[in-house]
Amino acid sequence: MFITKDTQLCMSLSGRPGNFGTRFHNYLYQKLGLNFIYKAFTTEDIEHAVKGIRALGIRGCAVSMPFKESCMPFLDEISPSAQAIQSVNTIVNSNGYLKAYNTDYIAIAKLIAKNQLDPTASVIVQGSGGMAKAVVAAFRDAGFDNVKVVARNAQTGKYLADLYGFDYFPTLENLMADILVNVTPIGMAGAKEANDVAFPTSLIDQAKVAFDVVAQPANTPFIAYATKQGKQVISGAEVIVLQAVEQFELYTGQRPDDILISEAAEYARASS
**8 A C-beta contact, residue 226 and residue 205:** no
Tell me how far apart the alpha carbons of residues 3 and 125 are, in angstroms, rounded to a whole number.
44
Q: What are phi and psi of 164, to 5 degrees?
A: -115, 10
| Choice among 68, 110, 133, 231 that is catalytic | 68
Q: E-strand spans in the chain? A: 8-13, 36-41, 60-63, 77-78, 90-94, 97-101, 123-126, 147-150, 167-169, 179-182, 209-212, 232-234
CA of residue 227 relative to chain centroid, distance: 22
**8 A C-beta contact, residue 152 and residue 132:** no
68 counts as catalytic: yes
Which residues form the catalytic set?
A: 68
